[in-house]
């Protein structure tokens, strides 16, 4: 069953790239005591994710943070090196926290996987956005149509804060 408003995020471990190299971050590291906007994409560098979803959060970042959000993070079922390359290609280092969920453990734990085997991409994450306060889901948004990042986008999230 997919995670819903009022649920606590399950324990999971992400990988992220730092100046010192690859680092593991637990859900507690990312979410405990913080207000976090987290969005998930089916894949780094895929068209909608790169042209619309990530840029929308970069464009609205300052306004989202001004609403009291501590961290904006993105997760995808990609390895940490791909996520790091995607961050650098979009000048997003230090602006958005890139959380690699390489083996889909987090996407599976929250019940939000997407089977893109037919597209040659294997099991990925659905496209969604969440507002998480101290580890508890306060809002979750899904897209109604493939190939768009509107309801889960940065402008829409800002409007809800
Ligand atoms: C896209 O972001 O456009 C996309 C995502 C998954 C599969 C194909 C395209």
pLDDT of residue 146: 87
* CA nearest neighbour of 39 among 129, 138, 143, 144: 129
* CA nearest neighbour of 125 among 116, 112, 110: 112
CB of residue 49 inside a 6 A radius of ligand 1: yes
Tokens linked to 43: 């894949």
Q: Which residues of the chain have pLDDT under 70?
A: none
Can you tell me which atom of ligand 1 is nearest the CA of 49?
2
Is the Cβ–Cβ distance between 125 and 76 less than 8 Å? yes
Residue-wise pLDDT for 86-128, tens only, equals 999 999 999 999 999 999 999 999 999 999 999 999 999 999 9
Is the Cβ–Cβ distance between 84 and 98 less than 8 Å? yes
DSSP assignment string, 112-153: -EEEEGGGT-EEEEPPEEEEEETTEEEEEEE-SSTT--STTS
Residue 23, Cβ neighbours under 10 Å: how many? 13
CB of residue 56 inside a 6 A radius of ligand 1: no
pLDDT of residue 153: 98
Cα Rg of the chain (Å, integer): 14
């Amino acid at each position: 069953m997919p995670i819903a408003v009022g649920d606590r995020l399950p324990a999971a471990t992400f990988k992220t790239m730092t100046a010192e190299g690859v680092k593991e971050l637990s859900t507690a590291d990312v979410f405990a005591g913080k207000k976090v906007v987290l969005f998930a994409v089916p894949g780094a560098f895929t068209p909608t994710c790169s042209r619309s979803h990530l840029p929308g959060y970069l464009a609205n970042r300052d306004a989202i943070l001004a609403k009291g959000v501590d961290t904006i993070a993105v997760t995808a079922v990609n390895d940490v090196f791909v996520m790091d390359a995607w961050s650098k290609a979009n000048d997003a280092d230090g602006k958005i926290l890139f959380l690699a969920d390489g083996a889909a453990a987090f996407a599976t734990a929250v019940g939000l996987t997407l089977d893109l085997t037919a597209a040659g991409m294997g099991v990925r994450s659905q496209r969604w956005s969440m507002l998480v306060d101290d580890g508890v889901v306060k809002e979750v948004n899904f897209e109604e149509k493939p190939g768009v990042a509107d309801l889960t986008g940065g402008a829409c999230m800002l409007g809800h804060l």
